[in-house]
């Protein structure tokens, strides 16, 4: 079974197979709206600083500090936004939880054991940005005594409940719902 979380700035895809539960994220409208302009602007500054292109008005290339600092930061940020991916893979058979991230796919990972986590927690949090009014998100965590793993934080409560329920069912773990005034625990 596979489904996408609705209304997210990045694409979040959840895949559930017999013994493997996967969530991967990356891409989405954020690539076109932010990542691609950052990448192109950063590359333009780097090329201008190297003398490969000229700008209107005949201005000479900027100093190397500006070229590398400004161009490098914009290019790196654009690369991460355009090609950056992250995910969580839970393998019941191997007993592992793998958090990974990288460009195009997994490059770095952190592995823990499924036995380190004993329940799934869904909560509600308030977020606000400079460009939009406040909104609710519903973080879903795989939690244990010493550690927790953020699985997703959709804005849609129904989608969050589905992810939390599916994950708890997959792991045969209890689900703690902290979204209301009184939290609920479900087996």
Res. 82: pLDDT tops 90: no
Average pLDDT over the chain, rounded to an integer: 86
DSSP for 30-45, please give it: HIIIIIHHHHHHHHHH
Rounded Cα distance between 125 and 91, Å, is 29
Mean pLDDT confidence for 89-96: 95
Domain residue extents for the chain = 2-26+84-186, 31-82
Mean pLDDT confidence for 48-58: 82
**Where does 13-71 have alpha helices with state H?**
29-30, 36-49, 64-66
Q: Residue 179: what pLDDT?
A: 84
Rounded (to 5) percent helix, strand, coil in the chain: 30, 35, 35
Confidence of residue 85 (pLDDT cuts 50, 70, 90): confident
The residues, any chain, with a CB within 8 Å of residue 54's CB and separated by 6 or more, are: 48
Mean pLDDT confidence for 64-83: 89
Res. 8: pLDDT tops 80: no
- Give the predicted TM-score (pTM) of the model: 0.73
Rounded Cα distance between 168 and 186, Å, is 9
Confidence of residue 10 (pLDDT cuts 50, 70, 90): low
Q: Residue 185: what pLDDT?
A: 56
């Amino acid at each position: 079974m596979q489904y996408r979380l609705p209304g997210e700035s990045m694409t979040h895809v959840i895949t559930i197979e017999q013994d493997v539960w996967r969530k991967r994220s990356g891409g989405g409208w954020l690539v076109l709206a932010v990542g691609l302009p950052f990448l192109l602007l950063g590359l333009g500054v780097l090329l201008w600083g190297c003398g490969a292109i000229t700008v209107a008005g005949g201005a000479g290339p900027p100093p190397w500090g500006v070229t590398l600092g400004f161009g490098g930061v914009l290019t790196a940020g654009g690369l991460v936004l355009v090609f950056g991916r992250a995910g969580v893979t839970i393998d019941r058979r191997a007993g592992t939880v793998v958090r990974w991230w990288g460009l195009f796919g997994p490059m770095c990972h952190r592995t823990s054991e499924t036995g380190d986590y004993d329940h799934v927690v869904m909560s509600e949090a308030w977020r606000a940005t400079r460009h939009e009014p406040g909104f609710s998100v519903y973080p879903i965590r795989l939690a244990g005594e010493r550690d927790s793993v953020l699985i997703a934080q959709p804005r849609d409560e129904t989608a969050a409940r589905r992810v939390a329920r599916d994950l708890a069912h997959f792991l045969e773990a209890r689900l703690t719902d902290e979204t209301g005034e009184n939290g609920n625990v479900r087996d």
